[in-house]
Structure 1
Amino acid sequence: MQKTIFITGASRGLGRIWAEAFLKRGDKVVVAVRNPDALAELSKNYASTLLALKLDVTDRTACFDAVTKAKEHFGTIDVLINNAGYGHTGAIEELEEHEIRTQFETNVYGLLWVTQAVIPIMREQKKGHIIQVSSALGLLAFPTLGLYSASKFAVEGISEALAAEVSSFGINVSILEPNGFRTDFATTSGIQSKPLAFYDKVREGLAAGNKLEDWGVPEATAEAVLKLVDAETPPLRLILGRVGIQWIKYVYGQRMQTWEEWQEVSTAAQGN
């Protein structure tokens, strides 16, 4: 059954791969991006089923306007994929105030604005699926990636609460948690703070453990996203990649061990 998909941040990387996969199978797709010209060829090939809109997700009014245009153009929005975002690298001490604010403006507030704009449409339709692109680093944190993880931790909390709030309206919510993939996410699209020499060894240690073979093939994610969109009862969380599952199992195992070791202290803190 043909669906209308609204995707932010789909001019390149995973978002573009997913947009093309939807178009190839006959879905209608709205891509909301900073530079619609980057999609000129795709727009030509799918003139009747692709709507490219210019959007800076940090502009709340523009987000609502884009969603309204999409609804007017295709008549419905069945699936929202909040994919717009970028990675910022820097040790906590290295981060500048404007870097912190900009990371949250895009990764968190941008996601919130588009979500808020879509909910009334889906509520009126009595159906819909909101897919929030988080990260495996939304469940754990690596050194020098704390700011990025903080933004994705926020996405996780917002989305988990949202799922409980809108389920009675027929709206599903899923959180995608990819591990690293071979896109330009960590290279040309990422931003890095001015480094302090104190953290050089930390960066070296992280780089040493960052093996190329652990990075996934971006095109392989398309089938997983199609299955998620087509699922009658989609999961709240879906990890993308073999490595992410390993990381998360290890970290949560450590957490449970610590919580159990300190359970007596935790229980006593209840006070009654």
Structure 2
Amino acid sequence: MAEFPHRRDILAGGALAGMAAFAPGVAAQASAAPDLKGKAILITGAATGFGFLGALHYARAGAKVFATMRNLPRPQASELLSAAETEKLDISVIELDVLSDAMVARAVREAEAQAGGALDVIINNAGIGITGPIELQDMEATKLIFDTNVFGAQRVARAALPAMRKAKRGLVVNISSQLGRVIVPNGGHYSATKFALEALSEQMAYELVPHGIDVTIIEPGGYPTDVWRNRNRYTGALKARLDTERAAAYPAVVARMGMEDGSGRSADPMDVPRAIAEIIALPAGQRPLRRAVHPGPKPQEAINELSARVQVQMLGGSPYGPWVKAVHEIG
């Protein structure tokens, strides 16, 4: 693996290398089967999809995994614990609803107690989608999706960061989306929340440079996971609340609301846990700010590169320059 300057070296006055904004190839240089022994990892939304698969993948790589989910007891928790017992994996299941300040704080404290100190990684995976035109998103739907996709990640990060700061290490992984950089009509507030999560994550990445903590944003495309079933449930509830006048303004779209099943999507959902594991295994200060993870075209990469370039141009010579350059200039 090529040698890169650590962010703390840059802040200390080390020479700045040429810009490699976003550096999508950095994670690919990691081992195909990274060793995560000694890593304490907390995942939200671990009952299904990337969270469930990730819990098993990181534990099989040697990590101590805290798989958090709401509404315990539930079958998915039993499945994880059964797999852990059979394979001798270090997986603990903790109840956590990202909508609850108290549950988040309690779950993170419990995980830190079991880990014997600061968590090494938090993965903000919990998220929902609610489809339909923006006008049809009532305040109940709007508050729920922002509370889950944005405020939930903020709750978990705020709970875990004090111990990480004291330890001067850590990694925050926030699961965004391809739609956190590009927009498809009739997707409800999904892009709005993921755009917000992207901004929150990038700002946090700058601010945590002096504390030795990395932030990585994962941008998946569409994968065949339970996200479609869950989205239909939330969208169906919204559809049932629509008033006649607004629904009549978007008849074709309303007819399809709550009917998507993700069919035709054949990409391997394990792409995401594998990518995250590779990034976790990278040395501190060398992890990319963003990583697009899905087969096929990745239009967000052009936006990522331009955004990084503009950030450095705008703030590179300011007092914030060392933070911004440490995040965007790798290699």
Task: Answer yes or no: same fold by TM over 0.5.
Answer: yes
* One-letter identity of the residue aligned with 2:289: L
Hey, what does 1:80 align to over in structure 2?
A: 122
Hey, what does 2:180 align to over in structure 1?
A: 138
Relative distance call for 1:122 and 1:249 in structure 2 (3 A) is closer
Hey, what does 1:125 align to over in structure 2?
A: 167
Q: Is the 8 A contact 1:135 1:178 kept in 2?
A: yes
Q: Is the 8 A contact 2:180 2:191 kept in 1?
A: yes
- Displacement of 1:216: 2.1
* Residue 220, structure 1, aligned to residue 271, structure 2: yes
Hey, what does 1:260 align to over in structure 2?
A: none
Which of 53, 57, 60 in structure 2 is aligned with 1:21?
57
- Displacement of 1:129: 0.3
Hey, what does 1:7 align to over in structure 2?
A: 43
Q: Residue 123 of structure 2: SS of its match in structure 1?
A: strand
Relative distance call for 1:141 and 1:182 in structure 2 (3 A) is same
Relative distance call for 1:26 and 1:71 in structure 2 (3 A) is same
Hey, what does 2:202 align to over in structure 1?
A: 160
* TM-score normalised per structure 2: 0.69
Q: Is the 8 A contact 1:178 1:244 kept in 2?
A: no
- Displacement of 1:215: 5.1
Q: Residue 208 of structure 2: SS of its match in structure 1?
A: helix
Structure-2 separation of matches of 1:3 and 1:56: 23
* TM-score normalised per structure 1: 0.84
Aligned length: 250
1:240-259 equivalent positions in 2, closer than 5 A: 240-243=293-296, 245=298, 247-248=299-300, 252=303
Relative distance call for 1:62 and 1:188 in structure 2 (3 A) is closer
Task: Decide which structure has greater strand share.
Answer: 1
After superposition, the C-alpha distances for 1:79-132 in whole angstroms (9 at most, x for unaligned) are 000001111101011111111011111111111000000111111111100001
Structure-1 separation of matches of 2:301 and 2:262: 19
* Residue 236, structure 1, aligned to residue 236, structure 2: no
After superposition, the C-alpha distances for 1:188-211 in whole angstroms (9 at most, x for unaligned) are 3442132724334567999xxx99
Which of 89, 98, 106 in structure 2 is aligned with 1:57?
98
Identity %: 33
* One-letter identity of the residue aligned with 2:149: N
* One-letter identity of the residue aligned with 1:56: D
Q: Residue 215 of structure 2: SS of its match in structure 1?
A: strand
Kindly report the root-mean-square deviation, in angstroms, between the aligned alpha carbons of the 2 structures.
2.6
Residue range with higher mean Cα deviation, 36-45 or 5-14: 36-45
1:201-216 equivalent positions in 2, closer than 5 A: 201=252, 216=267
Q: Residue 182 of structure 2: SS of its match in structure 1?
A: coil
Structure-2 separation of matches of 1:244 and 1:13: 22
Q: Residue 89 of structure 1: SS of its match in structure 2?
A: coil
